[in-house]
Amino acid sequence: MKKQKTSAGEARLSGVALHTGARSTLHLMPAPPDTGILFRRIDLPENPVIPAIAKCVVDVQRGTSIAVSRSAIVYTVEHILSALHAWEIDNCIIEIDGPEPPVADGSSLPYYNMVRDAGGTVEQEKEARYFTPPTPVWIEEGHTRIAMFPDPDRLTVSCVTSFKGCPIDPQFFEYELDTETYPVEIAPGRTFVNYSDLSMLMSMGLARGGSLDTAAVIHDGAIICKDRLRFKNEIVRHKILDMFGDLKLTGMRLTGRIIAIRPGHPKNVELAAKLTEMAQKKA
């Protein structure tokens, strides 16, 4: 069995948050074995800690948010969790001085690079906890279908997306999670939004930090962003990025083969919760 891992050192990342529009700074720090991934709100009294686990999820609309109380909440954790998943980090503490991490360029590449800048990872003395579902798992609602099948050796996602008005639609990509290829194939994929949804988001007090520097906009048969698309199928790659982040909420290293049709945070988190429950029953 492989050993647990934590970050080799410390690193920081600052920037504007996507939905709140506030400036925030993350401080990534190593943690002892069996700690898990913990967010610590250093801007609040007593610095409350929020574990990055499925049962702490309180919202899955336009991102995945975790909390332990009404005030001790962290919004849109999926991008940083996706990068930690790729690095196979089991334990770390993430101090944050606000309710939402920086959006950076809308991808998880800045978070992946943050771990790299911290020296990468180091192994710890305890064994890592692995889980593959013993039987197929099926999640479905509306247009979304997610199936996960046992595979003890790897975690692979085959994903199809479809968005009205997108010039390249549907999009498909298949990827096996790997620390070395993640920053090339998945991490650069940026978040996106339909132009028709922007006014709704703004009326809800969201997307205050959004811009063409941080997201791609689907509008009238085109994809609009500051730079040209990083991939022809950048949208589906970002959906896979989000899925890896949401599945990190199991607190385990997962293996299996996932087939996902039009996935999103609600069903991703439901799958993470279901896998967590299966692992607890098996233990």
Write out the catalytic residue numbers: 265
Rounded-to-integer distance, Cα 93 and Cα 40, Å: 7
Return the H-helix or E-strand segment holding 104: none
Rounded-to-integer distance, Cα 218 and Cα 164, Å: 8
Rounded-to-integer distance, Cα 57 and Cα 252, Å: 16
Q: Which amino acid belongs to residue 99?
A: P
Rounded-to-integer distance, Cα 266 and Cα 220, Å: 27
Rounded-to-integer distance, Cα 188 and Cα 231, Å: 9
The 3-class secondary structure across 118-130, one letter per residue, is CCCEEEEEEECCE
Distances (CA, A) of 236 to 104, 125, 221: 19, 37, 17
The owner of tokens 């940026």 is: 190
